[in-house]
Structure 1
Amino acid sequence: MLKCLVSFLFALALVMPAWSESMSPEDLTAKLETVRDKAGLVALGAVVADADGQILALAVTGDRVRGKGAAAQPDDAWHIGSNTKMLTALLYGRLVERGEARWGATLPELLPDLADEMDAAWSDITIEDLLAHRSGMAANPGVTWFLTSRASSNTVEAQRTSLARAALAKPPKTEPGSFTYSNYGYMVAGAALDRIAERMGHQNYESLFLAELVPSGEGWGFGPPPEGIEGHRKGLFGGLKGQGAGLDADNPPALAPAGTLHVPLEAHARLLSRFLTPDETVAKLLMPYPDEASDYALGWGVVSDSPSGAALGHSGSNTMWLSTVRLYPDAGVVVIVNTNSFSEKGVQALNGLAEDLAAAYGAASQD
């Protein structure tokens, strides 16, 4: 089973920044190559953007596929895993602005066709609870679903409805209001977005996302990238092996709202740069939920003690890729660092590299 392994990082490595000013393209590439080699990564890419969406730095190193000899390219797409979640939340927020949805909507309102089947304990759970992992949903669907869903003849929206029906017919798995990181909760939010999508003339969450949130032609899509860089996992006899672009190279497609997006570095950074100039919607998405004591907002982890100033962050992996995002509102920069393999050593390497790049491009040391 391809388990959706998410490692949203609320605390960054407490190390002093390595630079105090921006690097040349050559220095940036050299830094990435050093990090990639030391951590044993196949490919490594990084981008820094400012609040205007200007790309301050972008570099990639390593191979698209280990052993194939083709170098990773700056415009290659990378799988971003659970960094999809902040964009699912953003999509919902933009629909609120258009009057197609509302904040505070409860599960019976979000899924009216399932309302009569819901256990009473779900009646007051809201969209915010789903997006902040405080709904009471289990972390993931069961093992059977992961093993069988790729072969299902049902559409992804039908699968999400089936999962929502099964979960909501029973009492919550965890205490509503408490934090349990839940891919399942985002799939139920996706089922609600499926219904909004149909009302707006789209097929499902996926088509709504691509039509309404991101510009066409920028390389956004769901599932593994169809060409270019491949995700890697350990082979039967050791080493890392490219996984291609088939169904087995990602989590089941119906998990899309929780984490199956792919996108090139530049397009990803330009979209996330919008979080640096908050409008009413973005301000809500970045606000700790349900109150300031929380270290998670709506799709974002909150980092209050970063050595480079207040930050928000998230990381995601489907066990074959790893993507790390850091947003530094005070410095006005967003940093994204991606690799096409997963390991705990890689998590630490990307974490440290993101902090270094933040310092190099404007984030101030808090010593």
Structure 2
Amino acid sequence: MTAAESATSARPWAAAARRLADVPGYQPGRAAPSEIGKLSSNEAPLGASPRVRSTLQEAARGVHRYPNEADFSERLAAEVGVDPDRLLLTNGSDELCSLLGAAFLEPGDRVISSVPAYGIDLKVTALAAATLFGVPLQSGGHDLAALATASAGARLLWLPSPHNPTGAAIPVDGLRQLLDDVDPACFVILDEAYRGYVARDRRPDIGLLLAEHPNLVVQRTFSKDHALAGLRLGYGIAAAPIIDLLRRVRGPFSVNGPALAAANAALDDHAWHDFSTAMVITERERLSALLTELEIDFVPSQANFVTARIPHATMAEQLSRHGLTVRPGETLGLPGWVRISIGTPQAMTELRRLLRHLFSTPTDLRSSS
């Protein structure tokens, strides 16, 4: 070993640098010149309800106190339909992933995920030094039979539905069959971040599934249809012994007081929630209809975004010129695609006009890609 190599290996962070060499840092969606033009981060385009905003002004008076989450946790458990000891609040739903990794994954454990996968799932798996077994998506959705087969001997299965980055949701019957077929010793982490945008007849009965499958953990967030992404509040639902172990791993006061107050107000404001989610669904279907008309491949979505086979480079300049940003598929494991978050009606009208301009001519940009 040379003197330089010896000096490098003696640095206190050297071992961590080697272990984390393949763990990428998170890349957020690009900002846009105007707030409404940002179609890259799957945020709620209308923002939090007026009731939430006024509640936050009042909650700011108490930020010198540590938060007390007990009352809200009990209320949320009642809303979800589970006992309070089966629900755990977390700092965004991503914290739940980290807690699961810390509590249940050991070096060398087999972890299953569809690929491309959600980034935090890959990160948690790598940090635990577990071994990822990837199952390719089929037409943008999970290959349920292959996932069930791969679960034999596995410790954990990451299962976002709707999937991110494609937006495809698992049919209710398909999810039930998958849970029946998965190795009962394998945790199934059902990420329902986008549940609020899923057609009601396609939403699974979580209470029933949890009663039948003690290896199931359900992951949810207030970031999407409740529009509280900046406050970082999520929660997990699972069997009481699982929640107890996760609670032991979680740090104290990981959920802040203003987030608790805002979420409580958001649950009260049904009218705003229903109005804003209906708007997103309407705009999603308008975009899907245009993509169909223009013969652009896309994954039918049940989320607040649509992923289409459009190379980002072919439209990046035009998007920028019109004050819009979308997410390049290259950053999500889908090169040659873009993920388009649903924005306000104004932003989506502008996006549709741009897409029609770019792709409705005989020599559109696809011919040069």
Q: Where on the TM-score scale, by shorter chain, does this alignment land: which range?
A: under 0.3
Question: How high is the TM-score relative to the length of structure 1?
Answer: 0.26
Question: How high is the TM-score relative to the length of structure 2?
Answer: 0.26
* Bigger helix fraction: 2
Larger Rg: 2
